[in-house]
């Protein structure tokens, strides 16, 4: 319950779009597909991702009418990936920077457990599904191991013969870095943290294969992506941010330092210096050199 304080609703231009959680310091993590539709199609710098709308992280939405804590995110995305990599892993994450860090919230990266995702056992998902006004929910469910995925899908298909196509569409889209299970947290819970039975952060809930059965929404199977693949990918994108690397080298993130190469802390902000300023700096350095040579003579 204490860790659940770090979970927030992602609100974009006044509409709830999904769930996020405080990863470390003032940085929150959610799914790329939660923010994908509001990305600036023509950012000023081609290799950056920028939000075109206003994104707010709403903490403490425990019940209807809660006194929430609303923190706005900066427009520049810190890290973003929505694609399949060379290891046949799918990535669907966005790391955003808030204007300020929320008070009294655990940085969930301190709960990170390194290693392959578990293939069995119980897990906890904490998120804000659209049902019941999007208030925070917790779901305890059990992992469907890789060897049991097809059996679980076929069982669902045999029990729902009116919608066989839904079950068949699942199989080609199950990737190596996924943890699969059956959860009652559906739409709106994308971006929820997934914990193992000991409170370790092991994944981020991302989606499922759902369909309508009358007025009821049903799902064949749901999944999260492993935190190991997410953290590994994020670190490759933030290595030029000396401020972020400095934060990750704190003692509380010892597990991260032990398992990932953070590299040296190098201030790369100078690389983004406008050309005019770079040229001015070069001129100043040349003048300083000339002065020094004159002093020597």
Tens digit of pLDDT at every position of the chain (297 positions): 889 999 999 999 999 999 999 999 999 999 999 999 999 887 665 567 899 999 999 999 998 888 999 999 999 999 999 999 888 899 999 999 999 999 999 999 999 999 888 889 999 999 999 877 889 999 999 999 888 888 887 777 777 666 655 655 665 567 889 999 988 888 889 999 999 999 999 999 998 877 777 777 777 789 999 999 999 999 999 999 999 999 999 999 999 999 999 987 655 543 433 444 444 445 455 545 443 444 444
CA distance 213 to 28: 35
Q: Which of the 8 DSSP states describes residue 35? A: H
Q: Using CA atoms, how far apart are residues 139 and 148, in angstroms rounded to an integer?
A: 21
Closest CA to 93 of 203, 230, 269: 230
- Beta-carbon contacts of residue 126 (< 8 Å; ≥ 6 apart): 3, 4, 7, 21, 136, 137, 138, 192, 193, 195
Residue that has been written with the tokens 């979970």 in this structure: 7
Please provide the distance, in angstroms rounded to a whole number, between the alpha carbons at the two ends of the chain: 73
Quote the CA–CA distance of 130 and 17 in Å, as a whole number: 9
């Amino acid at each position: 319950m204490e860790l659940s304080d770090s979970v927030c609703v992602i609100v974009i231009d006044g509409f709830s779009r999904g769930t996020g959680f405080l990863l470390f310091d003032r940085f929150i993590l959610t799914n790329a597909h939660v923010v994908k539709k509001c990305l600036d199609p023509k950012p000023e710098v081609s290799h950056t991702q920028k939000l075109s709308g206003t994104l707010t992280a709403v903490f403490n939405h425990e019940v209807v009418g809660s006194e929430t804590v609303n923190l706005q995110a900066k427009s520049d995305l810190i890290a973003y990936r929505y694609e399949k990599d060379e290891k046949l892993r799918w990535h669907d994450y966005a790391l955003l920077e808030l204007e300020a860090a929320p008070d009294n919230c655990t940085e969930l990266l301190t709960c990170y457990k390194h290693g392959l995702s578990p293939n069995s056992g119980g897990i906890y998902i904490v998120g804000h599904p659209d049902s019941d006004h999007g208030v925070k929910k917790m779901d305890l469910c059990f992992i469907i191991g890789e060897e049991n995925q097809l059996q679980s899908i076929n069982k669902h298909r045999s029990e729902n013969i009116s919608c066989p196509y839904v079950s068949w569409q699942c199989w080609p889209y199950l990737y190596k870095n996924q943890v699969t299970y059956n959860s009652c947290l559906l739409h709106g819970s994308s971006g929820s943290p997934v914990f193992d039975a000991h409170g370790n952060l092991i994944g981020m809930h991302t989606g499922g294969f759902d369909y309508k059965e009358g007025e009821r929404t049903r799902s064949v199977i749901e999944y999260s992506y492993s935190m190991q693949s997410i953290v590994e990918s994020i670190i490759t994108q933030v290595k030029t941010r000396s401020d972020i690397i400095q934060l990750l080298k704190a003692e509380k993130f010892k597990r991260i330092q032990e398992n990932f190469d953070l590299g040296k802390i190098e201030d790369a902000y100078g690389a983004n210096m406008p050309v005019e300023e770079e040229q001015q700096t070069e001129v100043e350095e040349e003048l300083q050199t000339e002065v020094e040579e004159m002093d020597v003579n």
